[in-house]
């Protein structure tokens, strides 16, 4: 279905634009990650898919040895998947899926970009995984994964999945230890200055001076001790989210939002709140503890089972270090959405 939507609605626009487009269709899970690790230089990358495809592409991109330069390549996103969270940030809402795809493709050609944050999530053994939206761990996430199993109940499938989840041991608590650092101040953006190349005799003099000069003495830098905050948590759901969903282009601090929900939740409240969190997974309900952090370490008790949801993809639950990479990637954005963001920030 995704392939048909792309070929009928997005591909013709890209080819007519005059771009030299190479289309690669992935055949199995994890292939996009490998492709990005091997990709040679390109002017831009376009991801046509859902949250899972986006996560694979950015993980492959940021695992590269030359990620510092490769991450400056602008990225386009054409929403074709079941969940396409970034499309809410980058493009105006549209009730028609075909129109939404066309708007996204045209936005790429218009060339406007916005900087988006990335989460680097690192376990004890494996290579880091990178996320654009966030990490979820808890009962609401587990119930949301099972909603599709109750497809035969139609509009009641969401409530059914959360209702049957309450048959397990109750209350469903997740216990862990959390260490975190507070927000970091955003440095001012410096405009890039294009300098003209100096004359040959100046370049020659500089090279000779550099060659004959003695190596500079290394000045020992004082190690700064980070002020880590420590917290024992007991929660029905724990989540870490970027601010990409509600982007503020003028904010002066960089941080990710940590939400620790209360562990005492009634079964009826769990079912009704579960439906709300299906439409807004980053919702932090009243009574939750909300923390702004630039880096955190989540330690799980030995023998903890279950799974994390990282950008709607399932990963085994394990102790992790989560670090915010502020404004790491630039995504193409509809100019109207960019103006809306700036207008809201100005108000």
Among 164, 32, 9, 177, smallest CA distance to 100 is for 9
Burial of residue 76 (CB within 10 Å: 0-12, 13-18, 19+) is buried
Q: What is the DSSP letter of 125?
A: S
Give the Å distances, CA to CA, from 52 to 57, 103, 173, 311, 344.
9, 21, 28, 7, 30
CA-to-CA distance for 170 and 8, rounded, in angstroms? 49
Arch. (CATH architecture) of 131-185+226-326 = Sandwich (2.60)
Token match 């020992």: residue?
220
Neighbour tally for 80: CB within 10 Å: 24
Give the Å distances, CA to CA, from 75 to 57, 61, 198, 269.
10, 11, 34, 40
The b-or-e profile of 93-102 (16+ CB within 10 A means b, else e) is eeeeeeebbb
CA-to-CA distance for 232 and 299, rounded, in angstroms? 10
pTM over 0.95: no
Give the Å distances, CA to CA, from 243 to 56, 117, 277, 301, 332.
20, 7, 17, 29, 17
Contacts of 170 (CB under 8 A, 6+ apart): 267
Q: Name the residue ranges covered by the structural domains of the chain.
A: 1-111, 131-185+226-326
Q: Which two tokens stand for residue 34?
A: 């490998």
183, 294 contact by CB (below 8 A) = yes
Q: Which two tokens stand for residue 345?
A: 């920030």
**pLDDT digit string (tens) for the chain, length 347 residues:** 888 999 999 999 999 988 888 888 888 888 888 888 888 888 999 999 988 899 999 999 999 988 888 899 999 999 987 788 888 889 988 888 899 999 999 999 998 999 999 999 999 877 899 999 999 999 999 999 999 999 999 989 999 999 999 888 887 889 999 999 999 988 765 544 445 566 777 767 777 776 666 555 544 444 345 689 999 999 999 999 999 988 887 888 999 999 999 988 889 999 999 888 888 888 888 889 999 999 999 999 988 888 999 998 899 999 999 999 999 999 999 988 888 777 665 56
Whether 1-111 shares its CATH topology with 131-185+226-326 is answered no
Using alpha carbons only, give the angle 292, 297, 300 rounded to the nearest 5 degrees: 120
What is the CATH superfamily name and number for domain 1-111? Probable inorganic polyphosphate/atp-NAD kinase; domain 1 (3.40.50.10330)
In this structure, is the dihedral angle defined by the CA atoms of residues 15, 17, 21 and 25, taken in order, positive or negative? negative
């Amino acid at each position: 279905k995704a392939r048909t939507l792309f070929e009928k609605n997005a591909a013709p626009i890209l080819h007519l634009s005059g771009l030299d487009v190479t289309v690669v269709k992935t055949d199995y899970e994890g292939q996009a990650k490998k492709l990005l690790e091997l990709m040679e230089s390109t002017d831009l990358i376009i991801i046509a898919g859902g949250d899972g495809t986006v996560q694979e592409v950015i993980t492959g991109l940021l695992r590269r040895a030359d990620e510092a330069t490769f991450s400056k390549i602008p990225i386009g996103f054409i929403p074709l998947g079941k969940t396409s969270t970034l499309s809410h940030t980058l493009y105006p809402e549209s009730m028609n899926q075909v129109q939404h795809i066309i708007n996204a493709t045209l936005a790429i050609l218009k060339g406007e970009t916005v900087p988006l944050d990335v989460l680097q999530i690192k376990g004890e053994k494996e290579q880091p995984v990178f996320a654009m939206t966030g990490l979820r761990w808890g009962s609401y996430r587990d119930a949301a994964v099972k909603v599709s199993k109750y497809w035969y109940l139609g509009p009641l499938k969401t409530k059914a999945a959360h209702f049957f989840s309450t048959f397990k041991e109750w209350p469903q608590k997740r216990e862990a230890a959390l260490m975190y650092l507070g927000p970091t101040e955003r440095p001012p953006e410096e405009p890039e200055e294009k300098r003209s190349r100096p004359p040959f005799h100046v370049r020659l003099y500089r090279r000779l001076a550099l060659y004959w000069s003695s190596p500079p003495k290394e000045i020992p830098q004082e190690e700064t001790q980070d002020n880590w905050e420590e917290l024992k948590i007991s929660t029905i759901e724990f989540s870490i989210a970027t601010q990409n969903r509600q982007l503020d282009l003028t904010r002066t601090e960089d941080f990710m939002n940590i939400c620790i929900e209360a562990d005492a939740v009634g079964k009826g409240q769990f079912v009704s709140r579960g439906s709300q969190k299906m439409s807004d997974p980053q919702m932090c309900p009243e009574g939750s503890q909300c923390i702004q952090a630039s880096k955190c370490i989540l330690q799980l008790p030995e023998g903890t089972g279950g799974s994390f949801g990282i950008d709607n993809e399932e990963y085994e639950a394990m102790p992790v270090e989560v670090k915010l990479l502020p404004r790491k990637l630039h995504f193409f954005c509809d100019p109207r959405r960019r103006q809306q963001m700036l207008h809201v920030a100005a108000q």
